[in-house]
């Protein structure tokens, strides 16, 4: 991965944490921070601040290090320390800490404009895992005015190089005028094809484009190739893209993106990511599971969603979420006489449950819940997620182009006036 | 031999950290000494440090308190100066314990005088039936 | 005797135990040893991701890594303890003692060890402090010094 240039401003991140040193991962945190040209700082507090914090904060906890975290958050709010961003981290599976983490994030959001990322770690957390988070956090700190942008202006392009598909979008004056969507085969060639398709539909030439933004796995390669103005990780871009497309830019929102090979759950505040989980922990929670189901049912992936809508998942017994054993369960049900509709519904339900198990553990589900990415078009899936989470799930128009739209929107901030 | 660090926290009317530092230098022991805002830190072989500090404690047994410290003085990963900002967690411990050192000092003094303090009984939570009765009486008194 | 103290990084308890002729089992010594013996390759206190795994002896994977990492530090103290002084409702202390779940588990394991144990309340004023110091001194005096042990 390309390193953040040391020409960028040094970002001062306040570390509010409990347990990192005792999990043996402080070195990993420091290493990730160094790679994004930032430093950790520890807000100054004195013992009276800590003794009084529970009364002032209104949250009583048993662990002293959590009180220290709250006191440090207050020190930031009181302006005793100048920081550009805040990293709030505690041990995974600690309920007391999860409540404190979430309240500190809300408190800092309400009282300051400082970006906050919240994370829960285990001893297996590495600098690599933390890097995307630190990249998102420092970007938010460095590019605050860019991220505040709510409208696209001029003529811009966004290209999202995903693991399964590559998407391109052309926007002019806050409207989408061209789209391209191709399977990712070779990163550059697929991007060229998607971009050309979008340009053709928009009826504009490449030389007319005023600014380009790239995102997704291949963002650095594409960024260099297209001489992009903005090269940005997908957490920031997708958050922005999702609330933009759904027209819910202010306040809190939850963005769920089940990708071809990995997925993301992002807790968003005013279009800026706060807490998120990402990664391909399990193929059973990915679009690939639905692709394989469609193949087994002999239908196109585009047809699977509609099929699922008229099925009932409860008619199919699934013994596993696993992409191997779970699919086997579906095949067995078909053999035992289940209808393709029920099997399609069961597959969607299985992916939704696995999303719940694997990705939503650390995310508060605040409405509106926005589902984006290609899989959100498989109608049975948002329905299954909605049933499971007991919330209304919104799939904005053009949800499959989320990253490209976000990139085109943000890139317009680079057009010189 | 491995080197350890002990910290002396001083809460004394008669002895200043600088007095202790002078005394430590006079001992000619193979130790290194650092004066701090709360007292003194002494680093050296455990046996030597313990021997020296037993003598130092006598300068004011009610005002000098000693504990071992995990980190050596000025350790850059923990030091406020090199760590950008707030104190290491242990400093807050010290801050909070420091508050009652005068009481501990006078308690030690009383102990040496042979005083036996009156042992307080633990106050139990009020029995719920008694509380009910009190509420009833209060309400009746008000009406 | 080797006396376990809780809070185990307490200046006052460590001082009193030493003053009355016993060896305080304090976490500071464990951390000091950890830092000195391995060279500082996992700053700041040289706890590495391996340590929470050593803590599995006390708590399963479902228990947070910070608890297990702290438990691995407590391991030798819990093994070596011959007597213990536990302060109830102590003044807040941080870092290695900053996690309430760890502290609950440590206190339980000490009680379960069935060694001579004193539990005292944390003093708030001079009178309480007299009682606190008196009880601790009486308890420590009642323990046999290390050389008298049979």
| Residue B41 touches chain C, beta carbons under 8 Å | no
Is residue A243 in some structural domain?
A: no
Contacts of C51 in chain A (CB under 8 A): 22, 24, 123
Comparing C-alpha atoms, which of A356, A374, A130, A179 is closest to residue A261? A374
How far is residue A285's CA from residue A262's CA, in Å, rounded to a whole number?
A: 8
How far is residue A37's CA from residue B18's CA, in Å, rounded to a whole number?
A: 43
Structure tokens at A65: 């290090």
How far is residue C74's CA from residue C25's CA, in Å, rounded to a whole number?
A: 10
The end-to-end CA distance of chain B, in Å, is 79
Is residue A298 in some structural domain?
A: yes
Residues A205 and A297 in one domain: no
What is the number of domains present in chain C?
A: 1
Is residue B32 in some structural domain?
A: yes
∠ at Cα C46 (C44, C50), nearest 5°? 135
Domain, as residue range, for B71: 3-112
Looking up residue B49, the CATH number of its domain turns out to be 3.30.70.260
Domain, as residue range, for C109: 2-144
Query: Any bridge partners for residue B66, and if so which?
Result: B8
pLDDT of res. C148: 47
Is residue A83 in some structural domain?
A: yes
pTM, to two decimals: 0.85
List CB contacts of B39: < 8 A, sequence separation 6 or more. Answer: B7, B8, B9, B10, B17, B20, B64
∠ at Cα A323 (A292, A391), nearest 5°? 90
Residues A255 and A378 in one domain: yes
Is residue A1 in some structural domain?
A: no
Is residue C150 in some structural domain?
A: no
pLDDT of res. A277: 77
Looking up residue A122, the CATH number of its domain turns out to be 3.40.50.11900
CB contact under 8 A, A93 and C62: yes
Beta strands B39-45 and B31-35 are: antiparallel
Residues A73 and A111 in one domain: yes
CB contact under 8 A, A44 and B95: no
DSSP alpha helix (H) spans, A143-277 = 144-147, 187-202, 219-225, 234-246
Is residue C125 in some structural domain?
A: yes
Residues A68 and A110 in one domain: yes
Chain A residues whose C-beta is within 8 A of a chain B C-beta are: 12, 39-47, 50-51, 65, 68, 72, 75, 81
**A313-320 long-range CB contacts below 8 Å, 24 or more apart?**
A313/A342, A313/A345, A313/A346, A313/A348, A313/A349, A313/A350, A313/A384, A315/A339, A315/A342, A315/A346, A316/A342, A316/A343, A316/A345, A316/A346, A318/A346, A318/A350, A320/A284
How far is residue C98's CA from residue A72's CA, in Å, rounded to a whole number?
A: 15
How far is residue A223's CA from residue A159's CA, in Å, rounded to a whole number?
A: 9
Is residue C91 in some structural domain?
A: yes
CB crowding B3-15: b at 16 or more within 10 Å, else e: bbbbbbbbbbeeb
DSSP alpha helix (H) spans, A203-286 = 219-225, 234-246
Chain B: list its partners (3+ Cβ pairs within 8 Å): A, C
Which of A110-124, C6-20, C54-68 bottoms out in mean pLDDT, i.e. has the lowest? A110-124
**Residue-wise pLDDT tens digits, B103-131:** 999 999 999 999 999 888 778 889 999 99
**Residue-wise pLDDT tens digits, A372-386:** 988 898 888 899 999
Structure tokens at A162: 């995903």
Is residue B123 in some structural domain?
A: no
C38: pLDDT confidence band, cut at 50, 70 and 90? low
Is residue A220 in some structural domain?
A: yes
The end-to-end CA distance of chain C, in Å, is 12
| Residue C130 touches chain B, beta carbons under 8 Å | yes
Is residue C7 in some structural domain?
A: yes
Residues A65 and A106 in one domain: yes
SS3 of residue A315 by DSSP: helix
Is residue B78 in some structural domain?
A: yes
Is residue C127 in some structural domain?
A: yes
Is residue A240 in some structural domain?
A: no
Is the Cα torsion angle A278, A279, A280, A286 positive or negative in sign? positive
Is residue C149 in some structural domain?
A: no
CB contact under 8 A, B111 and C134: yes
Is residue B69 in some structural domain?
A: yes
Among A93, A120, A142, the domain boundary falls at: A142
- Distances in whole angstroms, Cα of residue B16 to Cα of each of A135, A254, A355: 50, 59, 63
How far is residue C135's CA from residue C133's CA, in Å, rounded to a whole number?
A: 6
Q: Write out the H or E segment, with its range, that includes residue B3.
A: strand B3-10
pLDDT of res. A29: 95
Is residue B142 in some structural domain?
A: no
pLDDT of res. A1: 41
Give the minimum alpha-carbon distance from A67 to chain C in angstroms, rounded to a whole number: 9
Domain, as residue range, for A231: 155-235+402-414
Per DSSP, chain A holds a count of helices (H) and strands (E) of 15, 14
| Count of B-C CB contacts under 8 Å | 127
Counting residues of chain C whose pLDDT is more than 70, the rounded percentage is: 94
Is the Cα torsion angle A107, A109, A112, A118 positive or negative in sign? positive
pLDDT of res. A96: 96
Is residue C34 in some structural domain?
A: yes
Is residue B129 in some structural domain?
A: no
What is the number of domains present in chain A?
A: 3
Q: Write out the H or E segment, with its range, that includes residue A39.
A: strand A38-41
CB contact under 8 A, B83 and A42: yes
List CB contacts of A105: < 8 A, sequence separation 6 or more. Answer: A88, A116, A118, A274, A275
The low-confidence residues of chain A, meaning pLDDT below 70, are 1-7, 279-281, 416-417
How far is residue A215's CA from residue A196's CA, in Å, rounded to a whole number?
A: 17
Is residue A241 in some structural domain?
A: no
pLDDT of res. A281: 60
pLDDT of res. B115: 93
Structure tokens at A40: 């950790």
Residue of C11, C70, C128 to mutate when probing chain B, most B C-beta within 10 A: C11
How far is residue A345's CA from residue B67's CA, in Å, rounded to a whole number?
A: 65
Is residue B121 in some structural domain?
A: no
Contacts of A44 in chain B (CB under 8 A): 85-87
How far is residue B120's CA from residue C117's CA, in Å, rounded to a whole number?
A: 19
Comparing C-alpha atoms, which of A230, A226, A222, A234 is closest to residue A259? A234
Contact A296, A330 (CB under 8 A): yes
Contacts of A39 in chain B (CB under 8 A): 84
Residues A180 and A212 in one domain: yes
C149: pLDDT confidence band, cut at 50, 70 and 90? very low
Answer whether residue C108 shows pLDDT above 70.
yes
Contacts of C134 in chain B (CB under 8 A): 107, 111, 116-117
What is the number of domains present in chain B?
A: 1
CB contact under 8 A, C65 and A64: no
C142: pLDDT confidence band, cut at 50, 70 and 90? very high
Residues A307 and A266 in one domain: yes
Contacts of A63 in chain C (CB under 8 A): 98-101
Residues A196 and A126 in one domain: no
Is residue B143 in some structural domain?
A: no
Is residue C79 in some structural domain?
A: yes
Looking up residue A199, the CATH number of its domain turns out to be 3.30.420.40
Is residue A113 in some structural domain?
A: yes
| Residue B17 touches chain C, beta carbons under 8 Å | no
Contact A140, A41 (CB under 8 A): no
**What's the rounded mean pLDDT across residues B71-83?**
77
Comparing C-alpha atoms, which of A222, A203, A214 is closest to residue A155? A203
SS3 of residue C103 by DSSP: helix
CB contact under 8 A, A24 and C48: yes
SS3 of residue B78 by DSSP: coil
SS3 of residue A408 by DSSP: helix
Cα atoms found within 13 Å of the Cα of residue A54, Cβ hemisphere only: 11
**Residue-wise pLDDT tens digits, C65-84:** 999 999 999 999 999 999 99
Contact A273, A266 (CB under 8 A): yes
Q: Write out the H or E segment, with its range, that includes residue A41.
A: strand A38-41
How many Cβ atoms sit within 10 Å of the Cβ of residue A11?
22
Residues A373 and A391 in one domain: yes
Beta strands A175-183 and A165-172 are: antiparallel
């Amino acid at each position: 991965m390309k390193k953040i240039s040391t020409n960028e401003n040094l970002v001062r991140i306040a570390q509010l944490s409990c347990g990192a040193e005792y999990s043996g991962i402080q070195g990993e945190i420091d290493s990730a921070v160094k790679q994004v040209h930032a430093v950790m700082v520890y807000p100054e507090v004195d013992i009276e601040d800590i003794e009084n914090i529970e009364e002032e904060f209104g949250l009583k906890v048993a662990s002293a290090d959590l009180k220290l975290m709250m006191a440090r958050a207050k020190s930031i709010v009181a302006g005793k320390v100048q920081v550009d961003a805040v990293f709030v981290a505690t041990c995974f599976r600690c309920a007391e800490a999860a409540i404190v983490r979430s309240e500190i994030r809300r408190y800092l959001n309400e009282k300051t404009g400082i970006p906050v990322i919240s994370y829960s770690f285990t001893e297996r957390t590495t600098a690599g895992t933390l890097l995307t988070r630190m990249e998102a956090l420092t970007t938010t700190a460095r590019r605050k005015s860019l991220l505040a942008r709510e409208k696209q202006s001029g003529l811009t392009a966004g290209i999202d190089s995903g693991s399964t598909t590559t998407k391109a979008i052309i926007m002019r004056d806050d409207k989408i005028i061209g789209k391209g969507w191709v399977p990712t085969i070779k990163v550059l060639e697929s991007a060229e094809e998607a971009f050309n398709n979008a340009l053709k539909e928009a009826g504009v030439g490449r030389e007319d484009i005023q600014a380009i933004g790239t995102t997704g796995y291949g963002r650095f390669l594409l960024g260099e190739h297209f001489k992009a103005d903005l090269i940005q990780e997908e957490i920031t871009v997708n958050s922005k893209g999702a609330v933009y497309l759904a027209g819910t830019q202010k306040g809190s929102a939850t963005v769920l993106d089940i990708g071809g090979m990995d997925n993301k759950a992002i807790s968003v505040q005013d279009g800026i990511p706060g807490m998120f989980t990402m990664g391909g922990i399990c193929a059973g929670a990915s679009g690939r599971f639905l692709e394989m189901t469609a193949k087994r049912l002999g239908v196109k992936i585009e047809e699977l969603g509609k099929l699922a809508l008229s099925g009932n998942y409860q008619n199919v017994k699934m013994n596993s979420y696993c992409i191997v054993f779970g699919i086997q369960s579906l095949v067995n049900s078909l053999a035992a006489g289940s209808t393709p509709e029920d099997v399609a519904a069961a597959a969607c339900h299985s992916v939704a449950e696995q999303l719940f198990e694997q990705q939503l553990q650390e995310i508060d589900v605040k409405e509106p819940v926005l589902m984006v990415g290609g899989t959100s078009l498989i109608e049975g899936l948002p329905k299954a997620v909605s049933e499971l989470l007991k919330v209304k799930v919104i799939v904005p128009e053009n949800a499959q182009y989320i990253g490209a739209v976000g990139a085109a929107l943000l890139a317009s901030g680079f057009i010189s006036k | 031999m491995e080197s350890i660090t002990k910290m002396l926290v001083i809460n004394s009317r008669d002895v200043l950290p600088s007095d202790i530092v002078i005394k430590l230098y006079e001992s000619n022991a193979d130790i290194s000494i650092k004066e701090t805002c709360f007292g003194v830190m002494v680093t050296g072989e455990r046996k030597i440090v313990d021997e020296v500090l037993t003598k130092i404690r006598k300068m004011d047994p009610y005002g000098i308190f000693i504990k071992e410290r995990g980190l050596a003085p000025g350790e850059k990963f923990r030091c406020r100066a090199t760590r950008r900002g707030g104190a290491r967690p242990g400093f807050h411990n010290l801050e909070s314990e420091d508050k009652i050192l005068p009481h501990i000092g006078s308690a030690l003094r009383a102990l040496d005088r042979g005083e036996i303090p009156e042992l307080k009984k633990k106050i139990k939570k009020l029995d719920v039936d008694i509380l009910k009765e009190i509420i009833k009486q209060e309400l009746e008194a008000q009406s | 005797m080797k006396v376990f103290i809780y809070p185990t990084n307490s200046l006052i308890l460590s001082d009193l135990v030493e003053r009355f002729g016993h060896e305080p089992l304090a976490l500071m010594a464990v951390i000091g040893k950890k830092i000195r013996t391995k060279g500082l390759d996992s700053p700041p206190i040289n706890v590495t991701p391996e340590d929470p795994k050593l803590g599995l002896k006390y708590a399963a994977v479902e228990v947070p890594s910070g608890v297990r990492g702290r438990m691995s530090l407590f391991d030798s103290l819990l093994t070596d303890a011959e007597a213990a002084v536990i302060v109830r409702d102590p003044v807040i202390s941080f870092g290695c003692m900053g996690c309430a779940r760890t502290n609950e588990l440590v206190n339980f394991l000490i009680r379960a060890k069935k060694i001579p144990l004193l539990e005292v309340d944390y003093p708030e004023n001079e009178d309480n402090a007299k009682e606190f110091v008196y009880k601790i001194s009486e308890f420590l005096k009642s323990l046999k010094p290390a050389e008298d042990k049979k």
